[in-house]
Chain A
Amino acid sequence: MPSKALVAASLKPFVLSILAEGESYGYEIIQRVATLTDGQLEWTTGSLYPLLHSLENEGLLTATWRDAEAGPRRKYYRLTTKGVKALDAEKRAWMNVHRALLKLWEPSGTSFRPRHA
């Protein structure tokens, strides 16, 4: 299980990226992440929805309410132009970190293999 910090840090890039594929709603996003990471990464409602709202406050997302088949309607989010730019920035930042770490873990191009006893 990744650390809490890692989970928290990855929230924003995940959400933005998933929404880049198309509009979606909270529960669906959670399911998507679970599928993508084989259950490794699981978020609680408590962390996701406030984040969605915060991104909405910042203007990276806009929301629309759509009726559901049964029960209350759903709130669908999608990226704004500002959101697309933010996603780019997240990608770059994440890749920078990734590349730097890779240099340490796989110097001179050899792939990383855990040592066996």
Chain B
Amino acid sequence: MFDLDKAIAAWRRSLQHRRALLDEDLDELERHLRDHVAALASTGRSQSEAFEQALQEIGGHSAVESEYRKVYWGKIRRRGQIAEEIRWRLGMAAHFLKIAGRTLWRYKGYTALNLTGLSVGIACCLLIAVYVIHEAGYDRYHEKANRIYRVVMHGQEASYGGEFGGIAEVPAPWGPALTERIAAVEKMVRFRFVPDVLMRSAGAEAGDADAERPGDRAAQNPPGVRAYEDGGLYVDEHVFDVFSFDVLRGDPQTALRRPGSVVLTKTLAERYFGGIDVVGQQVVVDEREAWTVTGVMEDVPGQSSLTFDFLVSMSSFDAERLEDWYFNQFYTYVLLRHDASPEDVAKTFEASLDIYDHREIERLRTPHLQPLTSIYLRSDLFREGGPRGSAARLRVFGIVALFILGVACINFTNLATARSARRAKEIGIRKVSGAHRGMLILQFLGESSLLSLFAAVLGIGLAALALPLFNRAAAKSFTVGVFTSTDILVGLVVGGVIVGLLAGSYPAFVLSGFRPVRVFKDRFLAGGAAFRRVLIVFQFAVAGFLIAATGIVYQQMRYVESKDLGFSTDQIIVVPLRSDENRRDYERIKQRLGGHPDILNVTASGNLLGGGDWGIPFVLEGIPKDDVPSMRAMVVDHDFIDTYDLYIARGRGFSRDFSSDTTAYLLNETAAARIGWDDPLGKNISMPPIGRSEGQVIGIVEDFHFRSLHDRIEPIMFFIPQPDWFAFISVEARAGSIPQVLDFLETEWREVAPQDPFTYTFMDEQFAQLYEADRRTGTLLAGFTGLAVVIACLGLFGLAAFTAEQRRKEIGIRKVLGASAARIVAMLSKDFVQLVLVALIIAMPLAYLAMRRWLEDFAYRIEVGVDVFAVGALIALGVALVTVSYQALRAAHLNPAITLRQE
């Protein structure tokens, strides 16, 4: 019997929980229903028919609800219940979060895996982001950075050498000429290196507690530190108008006006005076001059393309040399007016600089403006004067960071999906008992957002922990505070929420949409599985790519470090001659330093191999100016070739038996080949600008790598210069005798040059410096590769567990039918192994292409062989197998009696 009241009660129950329908709205609708049913019944229909019809006319529940929802807020407002409503909603949100938290805790394993993977990924990204932001922001701390440009020159002069057409230093008069002649140039500031000076405070006595290394301090009052400082720059007085350096003491306007004025950085002030209130005190340099401290400034920030330890007024510099239009040794920066554009200024350059006469050597020099903020990353000229980053390297790291984050996010999605699938029964029950799709979606999204936000927080923690390691690898000194910058925090929160939403949306929408009944069967996620497979492939493709890339970087580094350079750097100690006196005395010093049985050779030179080569203008006999190839120059004495184990291929080296050798030249094979003489031996070279008339080429040196292996071997020549050019004594010691040789050298030094501290470097260490950046890249890459692999494995681990669980009945049956554990492991692993293979097939060719580009930066490089890809693939495969087998083995050992019973 149809019971109208019961039917209506049931109908009412099904709408009760909808927020948009208030109780009184339901009353109204019920009233309507009853009236309608009564009206229909009176036309002859049965009550149940009438009810059906009336119900239909009302419409479906969701349609009704959505209509009511449109007027809901108006109702709330009218009834003055806004505060209540909001409170209710917040309560619901809190409730969802609580449920989400409980759910996450219930599935601890998956949650832990997910958290680990994502937080590691986030930590990596964070570190890289901090690095990239730092590198990209060099020099921006200057207020007027956007108006500051550096004047550099491009020259066609052959002595500049090969591919390098540009020099960062320009002649002294250029700066003032530009300021006077071009209205758009507001101010100019020039910097010029102060040669190494021996410095001490005027209060300390010479010889008191000499420091062997800067920073060593003797505990005395006043501090008796005396050390060589090579971080000084002569600078024009307006430097503080243009650049935003923090002047702590003294008047920035006048500090660097008068000759003999020096502004110390805080570190130096503390080093020599123990404090920063030292304006008015004096420092003694080279024991012969005194400078007055007119100011103290904060140390130059790390993000600077030009760094220094102290500034000396330009007025202290030799006035005559400031007029020299020939030598280019001045870093020149100009401040343009607000409305000026560098292009317009550049156009007027040549006109304003041509007004003045050149010397007789016509050198075509093109001036060029570089924006200050672009120097650190993009400028790669001769004599840059400071460390340089590389935009390319930043891009690489950026991509690696995105890769890792991608892998971590994919992981997250995969595991979230798998986890949701596991809860299919729970979902089914919820749906059947009235939860509707919106709520389920919210719940899933809430869970994943909560998880990812938590991962973000963990990520910061991990990044902070890893900071010391990262600093070492990247040669930076970030502090934890760097993570608290607003950009980063906002980025993290936003990113965390986005990842959570994205990762959670897949399971949320897919799983909440399916029909409850199907849930109770296994293996319902056939469609989802395809997507997950794609994700696994991507993860392992990234991992495989990174493994191969790292392998190649290491191979190249090993090659570079072990390649025969064509000369010897081992066991060679270099002692610099810093003062003019020492330099003049070089012969005597050399003799003294060489007098030890364990010393095989000793030589003096004006410059050093490994990037110290000079460009000196020269004239070649019979070769027209336009055909003169670029050529570098080493200035050495007779013993250089032997000390450094260079090999004479033709002719002979410098010999004391021939007095004319002091005007002679040696060329390397590349030089001989490029010059175009039929036979170089006997041809003449002259260098009029430095007063060398013609001298003969007496020998050809076998090619050797006097620069890093990034660069092709260029032409280079050797000659013996005038005595006051010698600046280094190189001592070759017998293997294993370094300690006693060093002792000997120090003793001898103190006798021949008592007023100067003894300093030295090792040639092989200096050469190793050439590859610092590459080595750092390699280390960082290796680190991140490892992490990517770990994350990918975490994901695989979770998924393998999920699959094993899904198929436990199948496994149980197979066991019962007699399959061995090994067979079962194989069966479960087969699928994943296939995926990893596909991933590797994609990844390896890409790795090959990418690494070929990187290798092109080296003039001398390895041939990329199949071995590195094969090994990389094996590693990736092996790791995947181990990961999967663990789960497979566990599943294989489950007792079928138990697994088959479960339902």
Show the binding face of A for B, using Cβ within 8 Å: 25-27, 31, 44-47, 49-50, 53-54, 56-58, 65, 68, 71-75
B32 touches A46 (CB 8 A): no
CA distance A54 to B72 in the complex (A): 9
B36 touches A49 (CB 8 A): no
CA distance A25 to B30 in the complex (A): 13
A72 touches B27 (CB 8 A): yes
Q: Which B61-103 residues have C-beta < 8 A from chain A?
A: 63-64, 67-68, 70-71, 74-75, 77-78
Q: Is the interface of B mostly helix, strand, loop or mixed?
A: helix
The answer, among B30, B57, B74, for a CB contact under 8 Å with A44, is: B57
Q: Shortest distance in angstroms between A92's beta carbon and chain B's nearest beta carbon? A: 25
B67 touches A56 (CB 8 A): no
B70 touches A45 (CB 8 A): no
> Counting CB contacts under 8 A, is B29 at the interface?
yes
Specify the chain A residue showing the minimal Cβ separation from B58.
Answer: A45
Q: Shortest distance in angstroms between A7's beta carbon and chain B's nearest beta carbon? A: 15
A54 touches B59 (CB 8 A): no
CA distance A46 to B34 in the complex (A): 16
B67 touches A46 (CB 8 A): yes
CA distance A68 to B35 in the complex (A): 11
Specify the chain B residue showing the minimal Cβ separation from A53.
Answer: B71
A50 touches B30 (CB 8 A): no
Q: Shortest distance in angstroms between B388's beta carbon and chain A's nearest beta carbon? A: 67
A74 touches B31 (CB 8 A): yes
Q: A50-B71, A53-B74, A56-B78 are in contact. Are A45 and B32 (CB under 8 A)?
A: yes
The answer, among A27, A47, A50, A56, for a CB contact under 8 Å with B35, is: A27
> Counting CB contacts under 8 A, is B25 at the interface?
yes
Q: Shortest distance in angstroms between B602's beta carbon and chain A's nearest beta carbon? A: 100
Specify the chain B residue showing the minimal Cβ separation from A50.
Answer: B67
Q: A50-B68, A54-B71 are in contact. Are A26 and B77 (CB under 8 A)?
A: no
CA distance A71 to B71 in the complex (A): 26
The answer, among A27, A54, A58, for a CB contact under 8 Å with B32, is: A27
Q: A44-B59, A72-B27, A75-B24 are in contact. Are A26 and B71 (CB under 8 A)?
A: no
CA distance A37 to B712 in the complex (A): 96
CA distance A80 to B27 in the complex (A): 23
B63 touches A53 (CB 8 A): no
Q: Which B10-57 residues have C-beta < 8 A from chain A?
A: 24-25, 27-32, 34-36, 39, 57
Q: Shortest distance in angstroms between B549's beta carbon and chain A's nearest beta carbon? A: 62
Specify which of A47, A65, A71 lies most central, judged by the most chain B CB atoms within 10 Å of its CB: A71
The answer, among A27, A58, A74, for a CB contact under 8 Å with B74, is: A58
The answer, among A31, A44, A45, for a CB contact under 8 Å with B29, is: A45
30 A-B Cβ contacts within 8 A? A25-B31, A26-B28, A26-B31, A26-B32, A27-B35, A44-B58, A44-B59, A45-B29, A45-B32, A46-B64, A46-B67, A49-B25, A49-B28, A49-B32, A49-B68, A50-B67, A50-B70, A53-B68, A54-B74, A57-B71, A65-B24, A72-B27, A72-B31, A72-B34, A73-B31, A74-B28, A74-B31, A75-B24, A75-B27, A75-B28
CA distance A78 to B762 in the complex (A): 100
CA distance A70 to B162 in the complex (A): 105
CA distance A74 to B29 in the complex (A): 10
A71 touches B75 (CB 8 A): no
CA distance A30 to B31 in the complex (A): 13
- Chain A residues positioned under 8 Å from B58 (CB to CB): 44-46
CB-based A-B contact count at 8 angstroms: 65
Specify the chain A residue showing the minimal Cβ separation from B20.
Answer: A50
Total interface residues in chain B, CB < 8 Å:
25
What 15 new A-B contacts, CB under 8 Å, besides A45-B57, A49-B25, A50-B67? A25-B31, A26-B32, A27-B32, A27-B36, A44-B57, A47-B67, A49-B28, A49-B29, A49-B32, A50-B68, A54-B70, A57-B71, A57-B74, A65-B24, A72-B31
Q: Shortest distance in angstroms between A104's beta carbon and chain B's nearest beta carbon? A: 35
- Chain B residues positioned under 8 Å from A57 (CB to CB): 71, 74-75, 77-78
CA distance A7 to B80 in the complex (A): 33
CA distance A72 to B5 in the complex (A): 12
The answer, among A26, A46, A68, A71, for a CB contact under 8 Å with B63, is: A46
Q: Shortest distance in angstroms between B11's beta carbon and chain A's nearest beta carbon? A: 13
Q: Would you give the 0/1 interface string for B797-815, flagging 1 where the beta carbon is closer than 8 Å to chain A?
A: 0000000000000000000
CA distance A101 to B35 in the complex (A): 39
Q: Shortest distance in angstroms between B203's beta carbon and chain A's nearest beta carbon? A: 87
A46 touches B59 (CB 8 A): yes
CA distance A73 to B29 in the complex (A): 11
Specify the chain A residue showing the minimal Cβ separation from B69.
Answer: A50
- Chain B residues positioned under 8 Å from A31 (CB to CB): 39
- Chain B residues positioned under 8 Å from A72 (CB to CB): 27, 30-31, 34
- Chain A residues positioned under 8 Å from B71 (CB to CB): 50, 53-54, 57
- Chain A residues positioned under 8 Å from B24 (CB to CB): 65, 75
Q: A45-B58, A47-B67 are in contact. Are A53 and B75 (CB under 8 A)?
A: yes
- Chain A residues positioned under 8 Å from B29 (CB to CB): 45, 49
Q: Which 10 A-B pairs have the closest CB atoms?
A: A57-B74, A27-B35, A46-B59, A50-B67, A53-B71, A54-B71, A45-B58, A75-B28, A27-B32, A72-B27
Q: Which B415-452 residues have C-beta < 8 A from chain A?
A: none
- Chain A residues positioned under 8 Å from B68 (CB to CB): 49-50, 53
- Chain A residues positioned under 8 Å from B78 (CB to CB): 56-57
CA distance A50 to B63 in the complex (A): 12
CA distance A33 to B444 in the complex (A): 47
Specify which of A31, A49, A56 lies most central, judged by the most chain B CB atoms within 10 Å of its CB: A49
Q: Shortest distance in angstroms between B70's beta carbon and chain A's nearest beta carbon? A: 6
Specify the chain B residue showing the minimal Cβ separation from A68.
Answer: B31
- Chain A residues positioned under 8 Å from B30 (CB to CB): 71-72
CA distance A78 to B27 in the complex (A): 18
- Chain B residues positioned under 8 Å from A49 (CB to CB): 25, 28-29, 32, 68
Q: Shortest distance in angstroms between B627's beta carbon and chain A's nearest beta carbon? A: 87
Specify the chain B residue showing the minimal Cβ separation from A55.
Answer: B71
- Chain A residues positioned under 8 Å from B63 (CB to CB): 46
Q: Would you give the 0/1 interface string for B390-430, flagging 1 where the beta carbon is closer than 8 Å to chain A?
A: 00000000000000000000000000000000000000000
Specify the chain A residue showing the minimal Cβ separation from B30.
Answer: A72
CA distance A73 to B28 in the complex (A): 8
Q: Shortest distance in angstroms between A53's beta carbon and chain B's nearest beta carbon? A: 5
Specify the chain B residue showing the minimal Cβ separation from A42.
Answer: B57
Q: Would you give the 0/1 interface string for B530-564, flagging 1 where the beta carbon is closer than 8 Å to chain A?
A: 00000000000000000000000000000000000
- Chain B residues positioned under 8 Å from A26 (CB to CB): 28, 31-32
Q: Shortest distance in angstroms between A47's beta carbon and chain B's nearest beta carbon? A: 7
Q: Shortest distance in angstroms between A49's beta carbon and chain B's nearest beta carbon? A: 7
- Chain A residues positioned under 8 Å from B31 (CB to CB): 25-27, 68, 71-75
- Chain B residues positioned under 8 Å from A47 (CB to CB): 67
- Chain A residues positioned under 8 Å from B39 (CB to CB): 31
CA distance A47 to B58 in the complex (A): 9
Q: Shortest distance in angstroms between A59's beta carbon and chain B's nearest beta carbon? A: 8
Q: Shortest distance in angstroms between A73's beta carbon and chain B's nearest beta carbon? A: 7
- Chain B residues positioned under 8 Å from A75 (CB to CB): 24, 27-28, 31
- Chain A residues positioned under 8 Å from B35 (CB to CB): 27
CA distance A74 to B32 in the complex (A): 9
CA distance A71 to B34 in the complex (A): 8
Specify the chain B residue showing the minimal Cβ separation from A71.
Answer: B34
Q: Shortest distance in angstroms between B206's beta carbon and chain A's nearest beta carbon? A: 94
Specify the chain A residue showing the minimal Cβ separation from B27.
Answer: A72
CA distance A31 to B38 in the complex (A): 13
CA distance A47 to B36 in the complex (A): 16
A45 touches B75 (CB 8 A): no
Q: Shortest distance in angstroms between A82's beta carbon and chain B's nearest beta carbon? A: 13
CA distance A71 to B58 in the complex (A): 19
